[in-house]
């Protein structure tokens, strides 16, 4: 158990819908990262937040957005869902920003878009 | 562009048959190289961080090494419970801090 929690574990929804994925980082970690994992693309970095502020963006679609709240939990919002958005979505956390720290991953949310 | 290539894509071993997994990387200055283990349907589990060429780290039957262009994950006398996908990731100087670039992984199967 990494200490990172994600809800829900599974999510099934229809095309065009909007969903919210939630992540709570390890106790004391200030930085949260979101990744998407699909069979053909592997793990792809989406976005990073540090202490409530957006710090980095990867290959995140405009239909996707995220935020980190004062209690440090984070939410990833996916809208206008398409079949191709079906994937595993992982959240990871690390202690700080300025140094090299390993990222600890949560158990993921499996999103299925039908 | 930072890039990570892992080989082989899949590896089948008999229990006790030692082998190595390869991670080749191209990065604009390496801040760190990371190895993770991922079981089906679960999140990646952190194994090692390597920072500079020549560095080695060990954990049970696993040993990770690093050169200027690649990293190896050596598995000595593997057991069936070592079966998993092993992921390699790099963090480069270019790009945002914390942005890990992952390879597609090596799926290891160890048969009893």
Tell me the pLDDT tens digit for each residue of B45-104: 999 999 999 999 999 999 999 999 999 999 999 999 999 999 999 988 765 556 789 999
Q: What is residue A58's three-state secondary structure?
A: coil
B14 to chain A, closest Cα gap in Å:
26
**Which segments in chain A show pLDDT lower than 50?**
none
The pLDDT value recorded for residue A98 is 57
Q: Which residues of chain B does A104 touch, with a Cβ-Cβ cutoff of 8 Å?
A: 46
Pairwise CB contact (< 8 Å): B97 & A56: yes
Q: What is residue B55's three-state secondary structure?
A: coil
A18 to chain B, closest Cα gap in Å:
23
The pLDDT value recorded for residue B2 is 83
What is the rounded average pLDDT of the residues B29-56?
A: 94
Q: Which residues of chain A does B41 touch, with a Cβ-Cβ cutoff of 8 Å?
A: 88, 108, 110
Q: Which residues of chain B does A94 touch, with a Cβ-Cβ cutoff of 8 Å?
A: 98
Query: φ, ψ for residue B83 (rounded to 5)?
Result: -65, 125
């Amino acid at each position: 158990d990494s200490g990172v929690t994600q809800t829900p574990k599974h999510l099934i929804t229809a095309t065009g819908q909007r969903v919210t994925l939630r992540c709570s980082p390890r106790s004391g970690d200030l930085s949260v990262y979101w990744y998407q994992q699909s069979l053909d693309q592997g793990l792809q970095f989406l976005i990073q937040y540090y202490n409530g502020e957006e710090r980095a963006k990867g290959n995140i679609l405009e239909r996707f957005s995220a935020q980190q709240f004062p209690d440090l939990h984070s939410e990833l919002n996916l809208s206008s869902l398409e079949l191709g958005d079906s994937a595993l979505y992982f959240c990871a956390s690390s202690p700080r920003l300025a140094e090299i720290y390993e990222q600890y991953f949560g158990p993921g949310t499996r999103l299925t878009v039908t | 562009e930072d890039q990570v290539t892992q080989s082989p894509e899949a590896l089948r071993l008999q229990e006790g048959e030692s082998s190595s997994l390869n991670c080749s990387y191209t990065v604009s200055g390496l801040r760190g190289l990371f190895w993770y283990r991922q079981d089906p349907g679960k999140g990646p589990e952190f194994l090692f961080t390597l920072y500079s060429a020549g560095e080695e780290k060990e954990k049970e039957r696993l040993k990770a090494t690093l050169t200027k262009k690649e990293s190896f994950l050596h598995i000595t006398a593997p057991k069936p419970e070592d079966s998993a996908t092993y992921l390699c990731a790099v963090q480069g100087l270019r790009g945002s801090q914390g942005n890990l670039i992952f390879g597609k992984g090596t799926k290891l199967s160890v048969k009893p």
